[in-house]
Amino acid sequence: MKCSSFGKCGSCVLYEMDYPSQVEMKKNRLLEMFSEFDMPNLEVFTGSDEHFRARAEFRIWHDGDKSYYGMFGLKERKIVTIDECNIVDKAIADIMKPFLDEVVNNEFLRVKLYAVEFLSNSKGELIITMIYHKKWDEEEMRPHIEKLKQKFPNTDYVVRRKGKKVFIDRNYLIEELNIKDKIYKYKMIEATFTQPNRKMNEKMISWAMDNSEGLSGDLVEMYCGHGNFTIPMASKFRKVIATEISQQSIDAAFYNADINGVDNITFLAMSAADFARLKDENSPLLAKYDLKNILVDPPRAGLDDKSRVFTDGFDNIIYISCNPETLKRDLETLSKNRKIKAFALFDQFPWTNHMECGVILEKI
């Protein structure tokens, strides 16, 4: 990949390495980090090194009558202007300049525009979120946004300022993922978490499904979000019960299960700790489940102490991690009475040091 922002923007810190070298470095780093464990062969999944991000956020930097996209710099924590970004989805890359040109030529939209967020789907549809550090009247804002919609027909808009949010038409996209030659549809709501690398997400879900073949019992999933893993994984189990603390994500998960015709999932809007309490108290809600398997996809902090103890109570664990350091800490507990059956590196973010991992643990 070539990009005029290489060496300036702080996003692509590995810009001096070719892509195969980046992958090899990450592979070797993981093998070294987890060398104390009885590891199987490390599976490595890669994708395109350009136009892979379906979500992106840029600060807007103003200088006189000009405005620029800005990111924190590579060497100093100050905003540097960028002319292009080739890691974002093609639909986002193509609209960035013409969209900002329209904003710059509209003084109402330009003044105090602080940041712009982009969300795209596989069809090239976009939600653009405009974040302001000024007060604005909804009725006054609306016609300006409608002009943007006319100029860019595949876009919807969310406009924000402190204490105020306006949707123009809708605040979500329908994503389509190809999982093992089957199309799954997902409602992705603006400002909720979604996997940013579409193709790598498909590979992660397929890998988790392949490693669930032949498991007996039902599945618990914690941190389920909008059902990203939950809905395809449901085909591998009799019943699934999934939890997520965000009510908005749970609402999307119910919707996504329905549009995919999946009816063996129970979604609960509760924290992992609250669900663990239900299990500890032998809640009647769980009486109909044979809870032997768990899938966890926690935030960068990994599992907290209570969630780690809870997870340790299952025979089989599918652990998706966005932080190898907290994964290593958690495996020190979870691998004591289990075999590490599979370990995978998913290169979600080329040009960065980020490493997404998947681990399958099986009770000995």
- What is this structure's pTM? 0.95
Report strand pairing: 240-244 vs 265-269. Answer: parallel
- Supply the pLDDT for residue 205: 98
- Say what the pLDDT of residue 78 is: 79
Percent of the chain with pLDDT over 90: 83
* CA angle, residues 99, 190, 207, in degrees to nearest 5: 110
Select from 173, 190, 61, 160 the least CA-distant residue to 125. 173
Q: What is the pLDDT of residue 163?
A: 80
128 vs 283, which has greater pLDDT?
128
Q: What are phi and psi of 98, to 5 degrees?
A: -60, -35
* pLDDT tens readout for residues 262-280: 999 999 999 888 888 888 8
The matching CATH number, chosen from 1.10.3720.10, 2.40.50.1070, 1.10.10.10, 1.10.1050.10, for 55-173 is: 2.40.50.1070
For the annotated catalytic residues, the residue numbers are 322, 356
Q: What percent of the chain has pLDDT over 70?
A: 100
pLDDT on residue 176: 98
Residue ranges, CATH 3.40.50.150, the chain: 19-49+195-363
Residues of the chain with CATH 2.40.50.1070: 55-173
In this prediction, residue 326 carries a pLDDT of 98
Looking at the predicted structure, is the pLDDT value of residue 296 above 80? yes
- Architecture of the domain defined by 19-49+195-363: 3-Layer(aba) Sandwich (3.40)
